[in-house]
Amino acid sequence: MVVYLDHAATTPMHPAAIAAYAAALGTVGNPSSIHSAGQGAKRVLEEARERVAASLGCEPIEVVFTSGGTESVNLGVKGLWWARQADRTRPRLLVPAGEHHATVDAVEWLERHDGAVVTWLPLDEHGRLRVDALAAALDEHDDVALVSLLWANNEVGTLQPVDEVVALAAAHGVPVHCDAVAAYGQVPIDFRSTGLAALSVSAHKIGGPIGIGALALARTATVEPLIHGGGQQRQVRSGTQDGPAAVAFAVAAEQQHHAYEPLRDRLVAGVQAAVPSAVLRGDPVDRLPGNAHFTFPGCEGDSLLFLLDAAGVAVSTGSACQAGIPEASHVLLAMGLSDEEARGALRMTVGHTSTEADVDALLAALPDAVARATRAGYAAHAPATFAR
């Protein structure tokens, strides 16, 4: 039986969400149809929207269902940026260097194809945005269209200063998009009180189905859509909506009452005892409650991953691996680690199915995996570059 400690990648569906999904699949009708079957399907969909909205602290009208976190981020970033380009006087985006690739690739696409100017903001040694650098950038540039940042770093787990960022941006009349995919279900989120223009989440990170997410979009925010068609969902995201998936999403959102910290702390303490050379990355206190991210000196993270997988333990490196060539995490590089240090990364994340026995199995397998990975050393490759 596999010990699953990669809940940050995806977490198993809650049994209640599976049951609700199966039951809702029997609903007949298109929610946009005006006959009674269509209106019945719409009622199922809108009740689910209300429940998801409650979990995000926003109004139901502000919940735009999407295909997942990546689409939500693209809609939030591109849509908000495009909406401010009427006279092309605000082409600039301010983005921290350690963002998820959904944001990184979206803004780089805008830069290559649509004239955007991207200013990458530095992180501190814990992976937290340096607020002083954001303040300086806002003071220096009067052409900023948008700030986008993570609620919590998806690799090292560090919580970001969202309230400070929104306050600084608001003083300059700049909207803020937040990628909360990693944070949703882990820490409290109240969209209404943040002052954010938009916030992205995904169902499969909280025990819902893969293939549905949401963008919480403030009533006052204007976005240009990515998808055109029937004008569903405030003319923001066209397409027939997936009512059954929305129902399962809603049920999963109502299951988020887990205390992950004790198990996470047991894991962290156990790793530090079993492998004293391991270095905990990210903020040691202000981090996601299910996240434990380490670097192991002298080891290739991918080697550790495969060795642990062979021992029946599923974890993640938290870094990109393109064409089979190990690459250092751009997050860790932005935190100031060397290429060699960053390549020894391993991310272990607990979730709603995790047990003490899971942690014990990891700790039992880890010392041998580290010893074997250390003997293997680093794979030969040219260091990756990630311009900032």
* pLDDT tens track for 271-285: 999 999 999 999 999
Considering the chain, what is the average pLDDT of its residues? 95
Q: What is the DSSP string of 265-330?
A: HHHHHHHHHH-TT-EEES-SSSB-TTEEEEE-TT--HHHHHHHHHHTTEE-B--S-EETTEE---H
What pLDDT was estimated at residue 383? 45
Which of these is catalytic: 58, 178, 299, 321? 321
What pLDDT was estimated at residue 319? 56
Check: CB of residue 342 under 8 Å from CB of residue 328: yes
Confidence of residue 325 (pLDDT cuts 50, 70, 90): low
pLDDT digits (tens, 9 = 90+) for 207-257: 999 999 999 999 999 999 999 999 999 999 999 999 999 999 999 999 977
Task: Tell me the β-bridge partners of 177.
Answer: 148, 198
**Can you point out the beta strands (E) in the chain?**
3-4, 63-66, 92-96, 117-121, 144-150, 176-179, 198-202, 213-217, 279-281, 291-295, 313-314, 321-322, 325-326, 345-349
Q: Which CATH architecture has domain 258-376?
A: Alpha-Beta Complex (3.90)
Chain mean position to CA 99: 9
Query: Is 299 known to be catalytic?
Result: no
Q: What is the DSSP string of 9-28?
A: T--PPPHHHHHHHHHHTT--
pLDDT digits (tens, 9 = 90+) for 354-365: 999 999 999 999
| CB count in 10 Å sphere of residue 261 | 14
Which residue is associated with the tokens 């299910």?
Answer: 290
3-state secondary structure of 376: helix
Nearest CA among 172, 180, 254, 245 for reference residue 209: 245
What pLDDT was estimated at residue 385? 40
Q: Does domain 15-253 have CATH number 3.40.640.10?
A: yes
The maximal CA–CA distance of the chain, rounded, in angstroms, is 68
What pLDDT was estimated at residue 379? 63
Task: Tell me the β-bridge partners of 3.
Answer: 313
pLDDT digits (tens, 9 = 90+) for 338-388: 999 999 999 999 999 999 999 999 999 999 999 999 998 876 544 444 333
How far apart are the C-alpha atoms of 139 and 29, rounded to whole Å? 53
| Cα-based distances in Å from 38 to 71, 233, 249, 330 | 26, 16, 20, 47
189 pLDDT exceeds 80? yes
Check: CB of residue 370 under 8 Å from CB of residue 275: yes
Q: For the chain, which residues make up each domain, given as ranges?
A: 15-253, 258-376
Instruction: Tell me the percentage of the chain whose pLDDT exceeds 70.
Output: 95
123 pLDDT exceeds 60? yes
Chain mean position to CA 195: 19
Q: Using DSSP bridges, classify how beta strands 144-150 and 92-96 pair: parallel, antiparallel or unpaired.
A: parallel
What pLDDT was estimated at residue 387? 38
What pLDDT was estimated at residue 199? 99
3-state secondary structure of 179: strand
What pLDDT was estimated at residue 314? 98
Task: Tell me the β-bridge partners of 226.
Answer: none
Nearest CA among 75, 31, 59 for reference residue 202: 75
pTM of this structure? 0.95
